Amino acid sequence: MTPTTLIVIAKSPVPGRVKTRLCPPCSPDQAAALAAAALADTLATVAATRATGRVLALDGVRGPWIPDGFVIVPQIGAGLDERLANAFAAVSGPAVLVGMDTPQITPALLEHAERRLHEPDKDAVLGLAEDGGWWTIGLRRADPRVFVGVPMSTPQTGRAQLDRLASLGLRTAMLPTLRDVDTFSDVLAVAAEVPASRFASAVDHLDELAEDVAG
C-alpha cells in the first residue's frame, strides 16, 4: 500500500480557548481538561497505527503532551477551511486527517480508512459525524478546492463536504458515522463508549478538578 500520512488537527488545550461550548456546565479549566484528554487519546491512537507518517497541525503552543514521532506544523489560514487545505498541503502523498473530538477512534478504524483510500476506484474517504459534520477525511492528493469555501462547523458541513468532493469528480468511500464531542451530552455518551480511555477518566474526575480550582 502507498505510504500514508495521518494528520491530527488540534488546538493546544488551553482554558478559554478549547471546548468553550461545554461552558456551562463545565468551567474553562474543566473543558480544557476534557480537551487535553481527548487529544491525548487521539494522539496515542494515531501513534499506535502502522502509518508511515504522523503530523500534528497545531493551533497554539506545543507541549510535553505531544508523543514522539509526530511532525509538528502550524495551522495556517483565516478559517478552518483554509487550515484544513494547508494541513494537507504540508504533507506529500495520500493522507487521512482527524480532529481531537473523537477520542473513541481506534487504530483499526484509522487503518480501515487508509485501506479504503487506496482502493483502486477511490480518491477520498469521509466519515460523517452525528451532528451533521464530519470526523475524518482522507485524500489521495492534496487539493485546496476540497475545502476552501465549504461552510465549517454547521449542521450541514458533512453534506456540503460530500457535495464538494463529488463536484470535483472525486470518488469517495464513506466510513462509519461517529459522535464527536461538542456538548456535555456528547461528553457523557463518548466517555461511556470508551470507559478505559483518558477521556473517560477525565470525565470521572471533573468534580475533583472543580474542587482543586475552587481551593
Q: Are 13 and 39 in contact (CB under 8 A)?
A: yes
**172-178 β-sheet, strand order:** 71-74, 53-59, 5-11, 95-98, 134-139, 124-129, 172-178
Is the torsion defined by CA of 151, 154, 155, 158 positive or negative? positive
What cell numbers appear for 105 in the block? 477512534
Confidence at residue 213, expressed as pLDDT on a 0 to 100 scale: 45
Structural domain that includes position 196: 5-214
Confidence at residue 155, expressed as pLDDT on a 0 to 100 scale: 95
| CATH number of the CATH domain containing 43 | 3.90.550.10
What cell numbers appear for 49 in the block? 497505527
Confidence at residue 212, expressed as pLDDT on a 0 to 100 scale: 53
Q: Which stretches of the chain score pLDDT less than 70? A: 1, 209-215
pLDDT digits (tens, 9 = 90+) for 43-90: 999 999 999 899 999 999 999 889 999 999 999 999 999 999 999 999
Confidence at residue 1, expressed as pLDDT on a 0 to 100 scale: 61
Cα→Cα distances 164→42, 159, 161, 171, Å: 27, 9, 5, 11
Residue at grid coordinates 456551562: 24
Give the count of domains, the chain: 1
Interatomic CA distance for residues 92 and 81, integer angstroms = 19
Cα→Cα distances 47→17, 37, 153, 171, Å: 25, 15, 27, 28
Confidence at residue 45, expressed as pLDDT on a 0 to 100 scale: 98
